[in-house]
Amino acid sequence: MIRKTWHKQTHRRKIWKTYSLTDKIWYYMKPFVVHLLMVWLEPLPVPTFLKAIYSACLIVFILFPVIYPTAIILAYYWVFQFIGERDFGIIFPKILDFRGYVNKVINTDPSGEYGEAVHYYCEQLKVMAATIASLVDYVRLASSAILGIG
């Protein structure tokens, strides 16, 4: 199926010129989305934990056309804010203070006032991840037992 999508000569046809940028991006990302779905439909012996790691890497690759320009825009805004504060004395409002927010996140002491909240939140994420992994395994097991998929 992946070969069918990537080896079509659509980009040489006249219809390719009518595609919007999002349609072109979707055209090339579609095999990755199909592959992501096929990975989760594999039978039980493949551990769900490995599927989650592989899926996270694949999702980052699928979303790369969105992540890369966003990172560039944030980097330029960081420089703009730094120059504005240092050279021109511009004080950005709290909602637009990107540098201050990043510094606050980086310099937050995990053993300080937020320590308990961070610890509780991480424990909650662990429980949710284990629950979702078990749910996926049980649904896959039930579907293979009912439908005879093997």
14/65 same-domain check:
yes
pLDDT band at 113 (very low <50, low <70, confident <90, very high): low
**Residue of higher predicted confidence among 34 and 5:** 34
85/27 same-domain check:
yes
Inform me whether the pLDDT recorded for 24 exceeds 70.
yes
12/41 same-domain check:
yes
127/102 same-domain check:
no
pLDDT for 73: 93
132/70 same-domain check:
no
pLDDT for 75: 92
77/129 same-domain check:
no
96/132 same-domain check:
no
Please compute the mean of the pLDDT values over residues 85-107 and round it to a whole number: 83
58/81 same-domain check:
yes
Q: At what angle do helices 64-87 and 48-62 cross, to 10 degrees?
A: 60
- Whether pTM exceeds 0.75: no
104/119 same-domain check:
no
Q: Which residues of 28-55 are buried (b: 16+ CB within 10 A; e: fewer)?
A: ebebeeeebeeeeeeeeeeebeebeeeb
**Residue of higher predicted confidence among 148 and 89:** 89
Contact by Cβ (8 Å): 109, 16: no
Please compute the mean of the pLDDT values over residues 43-53 and round it to a whole number: 73
pLDDT for 45: 64
pLDDT for 129: 85
- Rounded to the nearest angstrom, the gap between the alpha carbon of residue 32 and the centroid of all alpha carbons in its chain is 13
Contact by Cβ (8 Å): 136, 48: yes
> From CA 97, how far away is CA 90, in angstroms rounded?
11
pLDDT for 106: 76
98/150 same-domain check:
no
Task: Say which range, 21-35, 40-54, 132-146, has the weakest mean pLDDT.
Answer: 40-54
47/115 same-domain check:
no
Please compute the mean of the pLDDT values over residues 143-149 and round it to a whole number: 76
103/46 same-domain check:
yes
> Which residue range(s) make up the domain with 41?
2-108
Structural domain count, the chain: 2
Inform me whether the pLDDT recorded for 66 exceeds 80.
yes
**Residue of higher predicted confidence among 109 and 122:** 122
